[in-house]
Amino acid sequence: MTCLKIAIPNKGRLSEDVFDLLQRAGLTIAKQDRRLYASTQDGHYTVIFVRTQDIPNFVNDGVTDLGITGFDVVQESELEVDNILDLNFGRCKMIVAAKEDFPVDKAEDIPDGVRIATSFPNIAKKYFAKLGKKVHVVEVSGATEVTPQLGLADIIVDITSSGSTLKVNKLKIIGEILTSTAVIIGRPGILESEKDKINAFCRSIKSALDAEEKKYLMANVPKVALAEIKSFLPGLASPTVISLLDDADAVAIHVVIEKRKIYESIDKLKQLGATGILILTVDQMVP
């Protein structure tokens, strides 16, 4: 069986998040192998580490079968790729921002002729063309948020997650272009030619994502409390109940619960007489 080649970011926060996801999904790669490329221990996948912005090119050209990058990067590339899966992390917004004293509060109201600094010239040009605005787009490779202070541009188009960098540079948001998350993309036609392989890969990824916000809880509880326990610990269907060898009045329950509900659930279980409570991490959840 030929292996799937996957391009992922070689540095930055997204790189770490993607690498961690692949590990949790069972695509094990030793950290010392993170050079240009590495094979997973099962031999089914080859991972190639490249610049985030270059991933759509690798995928479109067929150098790799799949790529994991930001939706914003895919849109900016304007390349033909198959959309495989939205990973729903690495969330950020592409916004239009101006200096706080700029006399316009909406992108629709900006005058013609303003200078727009951005690392996303294709997206910016389309956005302002759709608004019917004649603007001058200045492409920069980084530090977009400082360009209004330096006099290079009147307005910027940039990515933001918390908005803190905008505040530091005394910028206000006057428009929102798109929301971006990490996505899996594939070379054109791969969904037809490699359907089984893609499904197997996505199943592994989804199982890791689904498990991320879950915990596995085990506890010994009185039998008489089972009905009430089921009301606040439904699990995937209902708790698994196992008889105890030396205690006819109690049982062991095993249940998958939401991570955010763990402390509340433990408190209720203790009030109902639960003992031997164990909380375990869930690595994958395969439906």
Do 147 and 22 share a structural domain?
no
Do 170 and 187 share a structural domain?
no
CATH number at residue 123: 3.40.190.10
CATH number at residue 228: 3.30.70.120
Domain membership of residue 24 (yes or no) is yes
Looking at residue 6, its pLDDT comes to 96
In contact, 221 and 269? CB cutoff 8 Å: yes
Of 210, 212, 196, 201, which is closest to residue 286 (Cα–Cα)? 210
Which amino acid would we find at residue 3? C
Between residues 163 and 106, the one the model is more confident about: 106
Do 84 and 24 share a structural domain?
yes
**How many domains does the chain divide into?**
3
Do 137 and 83 share a structural domain?
no
CA-based Rg of the chain, rounded to a whole angstrom? 25
Domain membership of residue 18 (yes or no) is yes
Domain membership of residue 188 (yes or no) is yes
Do 186 and 77 share a structural domain?
yes
pLDDT digit string, tens, across residues 233-271? 876 677 899 999 989 999 999 999 999 999 999 999 999
pLDDT confidence of 1, banded at 50, 70, 90? low
Do 192 and 56 share a structural domain?
yes
Domain membership of residue 154 (yes or no) is yes
Last residue within a domain, chosen from 136, 158, 180: 180
In contact, 6 and 48? CB cutoff 8 Å: yes
Nearest-angstrom CA–CA distance, 203 and 198: 8
What share of the chain has pLDDT > 90, as a percent? 77
Which amino acid would we find at residue 217? L
Do 274 and 148 share a structural domain?
no
Between 1-5, 135-139, 238-242, the lowest mean confidence (pLDDT) is in: 1-5
Which amino acid would we find at residue 224? V
Between residues 287 and 80, the one the model is more confident about: 80
Do 35 and 66 share a structural domain?
yes
Q: 3-class secondary structure for the chain?
A: CCCEEEEEECCCHHHHHHHHHHHHCCCCCCHHHCCCEEECCCCCEEEEEECHHHHHHHHHCCCCCEEEEEHHHHHHHCCCCEEEEECCCCCEEEEEEEECCCCCCCHHHCCCCCEEEECCHHHHHHHHHHCCCCCEEEECCCCHHHHHHHCCCCEEEEEECCCHHHHHCCEEEEEEEEEECEEEEECCCHHHHCHHHHHHHHHHHHHHHHHCCEEEEEEEEEHHHHHHHHHHCCCCCCCEEEEECCEEEEEEEEEEEEHHHHHHHHHHHHHCCCEEEEEEECCCCCC
Domain membership of residue 72 (yes or no) is yes
In contact, 131 and 146? CB cutoff 8 Å: no
Looking at residue 34, its pLDDT comes to 59
What is the Cβ-side half-sphere exposure of residue 280, based on CA atoms within 13 angstroms? 12
Do 199 and 152 share a structural domain?
no
pTM, 2 dp: 0.85
What share of the chain has pLDDT > 70, as a percent? 96
How far does Cα 255 stand from its chain's mean position? 26
Of 18, 146, 20, 8, which is closest to residue 64 (Cα–Cα)? 8
Looking at residue 39, its pLDDT comes to 79
Do 152 and 11 share a structural domain?
no
Do 115 and 77 share a structural domain?
no
Mean pLDDT computed over every residue of the chain: 92
118, β-bridge pairs: 139, 157
Domain membership of residue 286 (yes or no) is no
Domain membership of residue 192 (yes or no) is yes
Do 186 and 85 share a structural domain?
yes
Domain that residue 42 falls in: 4-89+181-211
Domain membership of residue 65 (yes or no) is yes
Nearest-angstrom CA–CA distance, 274 and 90: 39
pLDDT digit string, tens, across residues 22-78? 999 988 876 555 577 787 777 788 999 999 999 999 999 999 999 999 999 999 999
Last residue within a domain, chosen from 190, 211, 232: 211
